[in-house]
Structure 1
């Protein structure tokens, strides 16, 4: 396995491909051993051969992509955990992708627990700050498509009551304005969501607090917005997972 990895690394270092003899030298392997491993790796799809030169194959590229994605997830988790500890609130990261609300990462702790997903987040976007923030970033057609699939319905006494009221609220939200929601998704909880610009992807960072700490929500949201601003260059590169 170790020798095979050395060969893969040797191929990856040769952008324009390399013959078996060159790769054997690069990997420090005997030529018969290199030939055997190259045949196996080619058969498994980790390499492909063209005119006597070896290149990375689709299987190796998928492996590399998966590893890069895991690294990005780890980076986002680390960032959220740091903000959780700095601000003292659970922090959420969510995106709107392929017509669905996806909560990608949550950083909480026993002392700062996240909101329990008692009603499917994808179906109740109208009722929570994350969903309202994402929906506010969509075009009119995409927004109406979402609400056709997931109609507005009251899930607490504080939830917006009908689609027209929700649409008016979404249209009033400023481009980079935090979205605040008080007990519309879960009784006893208040939330704020900050919109993010990640190319064409609608995304958001959000926080939540028990409703008896509602006075902490505006300064905590402001602090989150400042933290996002400081790291925006890094986030644009690493957070779109």
Structure 2
């Protein structure tokens, strides 16, 4: 054990428990340190940015806030991964989480297993949103201007014999899709795979949770999608899938 590190951590904990700040004497007492030792460590922590001093009181500094934010972000990522894995196990299919941010499709997480492998990304998901369920689900949540902008940057192209043929046909399909309605796609992105995606909105950001099945199990897709919606309904209120992970 390194004593100086332990003492510095006790001071940080004491400061963190005092949102209105605290003087050195109080912090030394709460951390069980001699006042000269506390002064020396406090000056060091201020110099390194972990604390800041204002009118004789000490507060958490930017460096400590960044550590706290990083830990919270890591916890959110872990929670999302665990939730996707739980849904994948319950449904018996790979589960995907994606968002539409700054004009781009971003796949944020995938949960699969050797028995239920995810669809291979043989064509860039960002450029082929017209073909897969996740992309169509995200685009269905945008307004027409944003959809046309996306398709101007990533034009429709045939990936399989089942892919939608042109942008206007896709736009008409998206117009007929209710904003929060699940999207079903059969072998449009990859031969041998059928997929579904359920919309989820966090603030103003469009998101989607999807699943895929081998095409030989296509008859399972409606029930699997319902099960995914049920699983999402039980968790999303408290989980609040983070768009910042």
The TM-score normalised by the length of structure 2 is 0.94
Are 1:220 and 2:224 matched, yes or no?
Answer: yes
Structure 1 segments (4+ residues) deviating >4 Å: none
The one of 233, 238, 242 equivalent to 1:239 is 242
SS in 2 for 1:146: helix
SS in 1 for 2:25: helix
Are 1:19 and 2:23 matched, yes or no?
Answer: yes
Match of 1:188 in 2: 192
Point out the more displaced range, 174-183 or 218-227: 174-183
* 1:115-130 alignment runs, 5 A limit: 115-130=119-134
Distance 1:3 1:182 in 2: 61
Are 1:208 and 2:204 matched, yes or no?
Answer: no
1:181-219 deviations in whole A, cap 9, x for unaligned? 111111111100000121211011100011111111110
SS in 1 for 2:13: helix
Per-residue deviation, 1:121: 0.9
The one of 95, 101, 106 equivalent to 2:105 is 101
Are 1:47 and 2:51 matched, yes or no?
Answer: yes
List runs of 5+ in structure 2 lacking aligned partners. Answer: none
CA RMSD of aligned residues (A): 1.2
* 1:65-80 alignment runs, 5 A limit: 65-80=69-84
Number of residue equivalences: 240
Q: Is contact 2:133-2:184 (8 Å) kept? A: yes
Distance 1:212 1:52 in 2: 71
* 1:152-167 alignment runs, 5 A limit: 152-167=156-171
Match of 1:5 in 2: 9
The one of 87, 91, 111 equivalent to 1:87 is 91
List runs of 5+ in structure 1 lacking aligned partners. Answer: none
Distance 1:10 1:146 in 2: 51
